[in-house]
Amino acid sequence: MIKTEDKLMMMPGPVEVPHRVLMAMAKPMINHRGKEFSAIYDECQTISADLFKTKAENISIITGSGTAGMEAAVGCLNNKSDKILAIENGKFGQRFKKLAGKYGTVVPLEFEWGKSVDLAAVEEKLAAGDIKTITMVHNESSTAIRNPAPEIGALAKKYGAYFILDVVSSLGGDDIRVDDWGVDIAVTGSQKCLAAPPGISIVAAGERALAEMEKVTTRPYYLDLVAYHKSASKDLKETPYTPAVSLFYALLEALRIVTEEGLENRIERHYLMTQAVRDAVTAIGIEMFPHLNEVSAYSNTVSAMKAPAGINGEDIKKAMNKRGVIISGGQDELKGKIFRIGSMGATTPTNIMTTLAELEQVLCDMGVVEAPGAVMDIAGETMAKLYE
């Protein structure tokens, strides 16, 4: 068996990190209470704000995973008696619901994993009254669905609720409009469409949310967004607790790359790469999960496919892994039933072609596809626009 030293990371995060970004981490340590770190924090805030489409002063940058940012959002905004409408149609919606239950009183709204969010059902819950906060995942990467954020934002506004949106796996790879959509707090991670290493969460929280947080007495300590805002509005922009300086070097480099590419270009690249996967696998008889007729909108950054009849999705994942291409299976109840390919961050059309070619080989070996060759033309055509 061939052993490949470097693997191609094609999961929905963590993703390949560009060389420039990796090298940025090799820089010597600096004092995090000084002008140099302050300038880094400031530039990270400014570029992040452009991606969230909000004001730079709303941005907090936390050392921790996306989950840490989600906890900061839900924990700083809610007291235990506050009702939180937790929308769930996948693994990360479920995690948000669990988190909400730690800090508030959950009103669950569960859809089968892979089903779309039913806006009428959301409005029904809101109309029943007394919901303080809505939590939703924008890009539910466990099921490759893009949930209807602007519509939920409008409903939140109509019923006077706060709206917390998880954009962990979409910011930098899909269109996000925090201010326009009426999102009170949005949370992302560094290791998805931003193509930085994992370990940083970026949170955008507007004035309305911040004013409310001041009244919440049960805010977490390390993840206290009020403290982050206070530290970032001093003469020296800094963090309340020691930040992972090396990861900030990396994040800044990654954000500069986003700026160089241009956000619109980057979103289109993400779209075309994801669409190329969908077009190619469909052409060779693999069914998308969820089915085209059953989904409100597919993710812009990850694709999920049903494992063919008689095949375990985990075996497809393992066979790809042997070939040096790391893709994902399904999580929890979807394990074995689906497999997932990410197209996030610095992923290139070439990476997509490689992945599809290897997938076709794997499916041939399993007797699912008769002869290889079909995927390349189709994916190539979909992505051709990127070379125009």
Q: How far apart are CA 187 and CA 202, in angstroms?
A: 6
* Position among 53, 55, 123, 198 found at the interface with a copy of itself (CB under 8 A): 198
* Least distance in angstroms from the C-beta of 99 to a copy of itself: 5
Residues numbered 11 to 40 that lie near a copy of itself (CB under 8 A) are 11, 13-17, 22-23, 25-32, 34
**Does residue 223 bind a copy of itself (CB under 8 A)?**
yes
* Least distance in angstroms from the C-beta of 145 to a copy of itself: 20
Q: Which is nearer to a copy of itself, 11 or 276 (CB)?
A: 11
Q: Are 329 and 143 in contact (CB under 8 A)?
A: no
Residues numbered 235 to 274 that lie near a copy of itself (CB under 8 A) are 241-247, 250
Piece of 7-15, 38-46, 128-136, 358-366 that binds a copy of itself (CB under 8 A): 7-15
How many CA atoms, within 13 angstroms, populate the side-chain half-sphere of residue 133? Answer: 33
* Least distance in angstroms from the C-beta of 67 to a copy of itself: 4
* Least distance in angstroms from the C-beta of 328 to a copy of itself: 9
| Environment class of 33 (CB within 10 Å of its CB; exposed 0-12, middle 13-18, buried 19+) | exposed
* Least distance in angstroms from the C-beta of 106 to a copy of itself: 13
325-332 LR contacts (CB < 8 Å, sep 24+) = 325/7, 325/8, 325/10, 325/354, 325/355, 325/358, 325/359, 326/7, 326/8, 326/9, 326/10, 326/11, 327/10, 327/11, 327/355, 327/359, 328/11, 328/12, 330/142, 330/304, 331/91, 331/142, 332/91, 332/113
**Does residue 230 bind a copy of itself (CB under 8 A)?**
no
* Least distance in angstroms from the C-beta of 250 to a copy of itself: 7
* Least distance in angstroms from the C-beta of 228 to a copy of itself: 12
Nearest one of 29, 38, 67 to 231, comparing CA atoms: 38
* Least distance in angstroms from the C-beta of 293 to a copy of itself: 32
Residue window 112-151: x/- pattern of binding to a copy of itself, with contact defined by CB under 8 A = ----------------------------------------
Region label for 285, one of left (φ > 0), alpha (ψ between -120 and 50) or beta (otherwise): left
Task: Report how far apart the first and last C-alpha atoms of the chain are (Å, whole number).
Answer: 39
* Least distance in angstroms from the C-beta of 242 to a copy of itself: 4
Between strands 145-146 and 131-137, the pairing is unpaired
Residues numbered 97 to 116 that lie near a copy of itself (CB under 8 A) are 98-99, 102
**Does residue 322 bind a copy of itself (CB under 8 A)?**
no
**Does residue 68 bind a copy of itself (CB under 8 A)?**
yes
**Does residue 338 bind a copy of itself (CB under 8 A)?**
no
**Does residue 185 bind a copy of itself (CB under 8 A)?**
no
* Position among 108, 220, 324, 336 found at the interface with a copy of itself (CB under 8 A): 220
| Environment class of 194 (CB within 10 Å of its CB; exposed 0-12, middle 13-18, buried 19+) | buried
Residues within the interface to a copy of itself (CB under 8 A): 6-7, 9, 11, 13-17, 22-23, 25-32, 34, 63-68, 71, 75, 98-99, 102, 189, 191, 197-200, 218, 220-223, 241-247, 250, 326
